[in-house]
Each structure stands twice: as C-alpha cells, then as structure tokens.
Amino acid sequence: MKVSLKSDWVVKPAEPTWSGTVSLSECDQTFAVTHVPTIYYYRFCQDCLPSTNNIIKTLRTSLSKALVHFYPLAGRLRWIAGSRLELDCNASGVVLTEAETEAKLDDLGDFSPSPDSNSLFPRVDYTIPIDELPLLFVQLTKFQCGGIALSFAISHAVVDGQSALYFLTEWASLARGEPLGNEPFHDRKLLRAGEPPIASPTFEHLQFNPPPLLLGESSSEEEKKNETKGSMLKLTKNQVEMLRKKANQDNQGRSYTRYEVVTAHIWRCACKARGHKFEQPTNLCICVNIRKIMQPPLPKSYFGNAIVDVIANGVSGDITSRPLEYAARRVRAAIKMVTSDYANSTINFLKNQEDLSKYQDIHAFRSKEGPFYGNPNLGVISWISLPLLGLDFGWGKEIHMSPGTHEYDGDCVILPGNEGDGSLTVAIILQAVHVDAFKKFFYEDIEC
C-alpha cells in the first residue's frame, strides 16, 4: 500500500505546563522501552464526509489542550547512570502527521496485520538520540473512499496500556467539546521512582532470568533470524465459553477466567505448532496490572506504568498432553503470585541492579538487545478490560481497532472483539513456518 505523507506538525501544550525532571519508576524503564503502535479505522457515510482539514484542525487543537493535562507526553527521555532513564518535562511536543493513500478501506479485508498496513503507522526513528525522540506520534491517513485510519505510537517508557487508553479517551472527549473527565495523577514516587534501594528482593523473580532455549541450542540468535508473521484470530463468545467449560471440568476451585483459559489454550497450541520435544522447557510471560494490588492501591488516574511481569513455566509435553486445566492452573498460579509484597520485591530487585540494560528492549524491530521471548516461549498480554473500543473524536466510533504489527516471535495480545458481543480477538506473532499449524490447532482443539 502506497501512503503519501503530506504534512506534519509538532504539537505542544496549549498553555504553560509544569517543567522539570521526573524520575521514572522501575516499572517504566524495564522490558519494552519502545513506542507501542495501535490503529483505529473510521468509515463515514457519503452524506457526512468531514474534510481532512477539519479533522486535522480538530485533532491539533484538542491534542494541544490534552497535553496541558498529560504534559509528560510532551517531554523527552534522557539516559542517566546505570542505563536508567528520566523524563524531562520540557513541553517539546508530539508529532502529528497527515497522510493519504489511493487505497480503500475495503482493500484491507479483515484488517489482519500485514506489511501492507505498516505505512499506516507513524515511523519512529530509533537512530536519533533518545533525548530528541518524541514520546507520542500520531498519523492520520485518508483513504480514497473517504475513510480514515488514525494511528498512534506511544512510548512504553512513559505509560502502559491502561494509561495510554486513559489519555486517548480524555483526548477524544476534548475533541468532542466535552470537559476533561479526570485529572491524571503524575506522582511516580508511589512506586518509589528515583529512590535508592532499601531492601533486597524477597521473592524469586524468574522474569529476570534468561528464558529457556530450544533444546540443543546455545543461544537464541538463529531463532531471531527466522521470518515471522502476524495473525488476528477471532474467538466467538460461544467458543470462549467452550474453552472455559473444558478447563473447568476438573477444576476444584474458582472458575477460570476468560484470560486464564484463552492464554492456556494459546500456550498449548503454540507448543504443538512449534513441534517441541516432550521435555522442552517453555516459559509464558504474563503482565499483571498492580494498580489495585498495591497497598495502598494506586489512584485510578495514575499516569505511568503499573505492571509487573511474572512467569508461568512448564514442559511442552505436559502442556500439550494434559487437559487444558493443567495449563490454566499454571497461568493462574503465576498471576496469584503478584501481591503488593511481590511487586515491591520486583522493584527492590531492579533497584539493586547496577545496570538495567539487560532488562530493556530499546528498539521496536528485531532488536539484539534485551530479552527475547520467541520460540520456545511466549508473552501473552491481556487488553480485555481496557477501554479500547468506542474512541470517538467527534466523527463517530471506529469500525475496527487493532494493535500495530511488529516482528517479535511469541508476542501475543488478547483483545475484546470489535463487535462488543463478548467475542475476543487474539493477535499473535509467530514464525511463518508455524502459523498454519497454530491456526489449525487453535480452532480444532476447541471442539475436541
């Protein structure tokens, strides 16, 4: 798909904002220190096609207003000792780009991730110094049919998924002429940002250990070189309930959640599709939101990262040959580990590290730095409870929303279905040679 870039603007806060240096928490500056892409597609009826100029004007004006409240996004990161980062709130601004394409929305089919859609996302140039790199990029692309794509790339070093969606929702409200719903809470010291270490970790933190390699391999370098492919796989509400029923057949405790059973199902199918030996160790990395878990809980409007990674592990032969409940139980056990004490122990572990670089993924595409969670491992993130859908900037709600594509084998996101009918969508990146087998097991194993 050919996309032509027409104009771009640096959008700054509409009013003076607080300026100064903000320490980042350990949750902010480990693992994905990259820009996370998402995209929304909008279709207009022929009688209500707004002009691109009006859309751009609305976006620029409302974004400038939103940045007054969400001013950290208008700042810049900078490196300090120990491969740590801090945030300079200097109102340097964010980038808004206008683009157009001769393609039509219908040319995108079911909106599955593909190289064709990469040009619909903002380009983030990681070769420039980090203290010059904007933290938010926005791209508006107009299609020949009059529809538009609105895509975002937001720095994960500043916000996690919940905070990013909080910002987008408030920005959309301002674009519609409505007042701000809730003021963001910016004090990252609630997660001890910038404070020295005060204790040693009290838990074992497998998420910071090198993940298992394929049996017989001494590194993951060969696996990193393999071609990858993205897939968007839908699960109807009925299929999700079938998985829950299957997992709960032998369950003696509380019923397994949708996330627990779908994640267990993904794990099993990936192990099968990858053709592992029975004794192959495999890790599943899970992100847990700690806002309500911390004691005391974080404010609902906390603006930053408040997630902790935890590991479920096992042997591929056990994961694939035993009932679904076995994998679901391992997923649940990992999630239950994350208490306020565990989260503080995670922070203590990182604060005691002289250098954080080995726990950071700095580049978005095929980085050789930081942890690699490809074959034989997975990382499954839940966006099920996030306010992803219904993003209305004044021209109606989207017809489709999806995460951006990238090339990391083993990355997976579970999203609510765009129809809002209780269905789920699994967006997963796997090596191209494993995709067809994964799809086969993904649907066949629900029935058997």
- The confidence score (pLDDT) of residue 111 equals 84
Check if the beta carbon of residue 306 is closer than 8 Å to that of residue 191.
yes
DSSP H stretches of helix in 292-375:
316-321, 324-336, 340-351
Tell me the pLDDT of the chain averaged across its residues: 93
Q: Average of pLDDT values for 36-51?
A: 84
Q: pTM score, two decimals? A: 0.94
Identify the DSSP state of 185. B
- The confidence score (pLDDT) of residue 371 equals 62
pLDDT digits (tens, 9 = 90+) for 355-408: 999 898 865 433 445 567 899 999 999 999 999 999 999 999 999 999 886 668
Give 43: exposed, middle or buried? Use CB within 10 Å, 0-12, 13-18, 19+: middle
In the numeric block, which tokens belong to residue 444?
A: 């066949």
Best-predicted range by mean pLDDT (36-45, 102-111, 171-180, 368-377): 171-180
- The confidence score (pLDDT) of residue 41 equals 96
Q: What Å distances lie between residue 355 and 8, 330, 343, CA to CA? A: 37, 31, 20
The answer to whether 3-191 and 206-445 have equal CATH topology is yes
In the numeric block, which tokens belong to residue 363?
A: 């580049």
Sheet holding 378-382: strands in order across?
Answer: 228-235, 424-431, 411-416, 378-382, 281-289, 307-315
Beta bridge partners of 309: 287
In the numeric block, which tokens belong to residue 22?
A: 């903000």
Torsion angle of the four alpha carbons 271, 276, 281, 285, in this order, in degrees rounded to the nearest 10:
-30
In the numeric block, which tokens belong to residue 102?
A: 């001769």
pLDDT digits (tens, 9 = 90+) for 245-281: 999 987 778 899 999 999 999 999 999 999 999 999 9
pLDDT digits (tens, 9 = 90+) for 125-159: 999 999 999 999 999 999 999 999 999 999 999 99
- The confidence score (pLDDT) of residue 51 equals 82
Cα-trace Rg, the chain? 22
Cα distance between residue 268 and residue 372, in whole Å: 20
- Min mean pLDDT across 105-119, 156-170, 210-224, 309-323 is at 105-119
- The confidence score (pLDDT) of residue 367 equals 45
Instruction: Report percent pLDDT > 90 for the chain.
Output: 85
One CATH from 1.10.1740.10, 3.40.50.300, 3.30.559.10, 3.40.50.740 for 3-191? 3.30.559.10
Q: What residues contact 323, with CB distance under 8 A and at least 6 apart?
A: 246, 247, 249, 250
Residues that are catalytic: 156, 392
Check if the beta carbon of residue 259 is closer than 8 Å to that of residue 318.
no
Measure the CA angle with vertex 377, ends 375 and 383; round to 5°.
120
Check if the beta carbon of residue 161 is closer than 8 Å to that of residue 386.
yes
Identify the DSSP state of 70. S
| Residue recorded with tokens 């847990």 | 288
Task: Please tell me which residue, 403 or 238, carries the higher pLDDT value.
Answer: 238
Best-predicted range by mean pLDDT (31-45, 195-209, 417-431): 195-209
3 state DSSP class of 58? helix
Give 389: exposed, middle or buried? Use CB within 10 Å, 0-12, 13-18, 19+: middle
Check if the beta carbon of residue 69 is closer than 8 Å to that of residue 170.
yes
Ordered by start, the domain boundaries in the chain are: 3-191, 206-445
pLDDT score of 36 more than 90: yes
3 state DSSP class of 204? coil
- The confidence score (pLDDT) of residue 33 equals 87
pLDDT score of 47 more than 70: no
CATH level 3 topology of 206-445 = Chloramphenicol Acetyltransferase (3.30.559)
Torsion angle of the four alpha carbons 314, 315, 321, 322, in this order, in degrees rounded to the nearest 10:
-30
- Min mean pLDDT across 93-107, 240-254, 314-328 is at 240-254
- The confidence score (pLDDT) of residue 436 equals 98
Check if the beta carbon of residue 280 is closer than 8 Å to that of residue 376.
yes
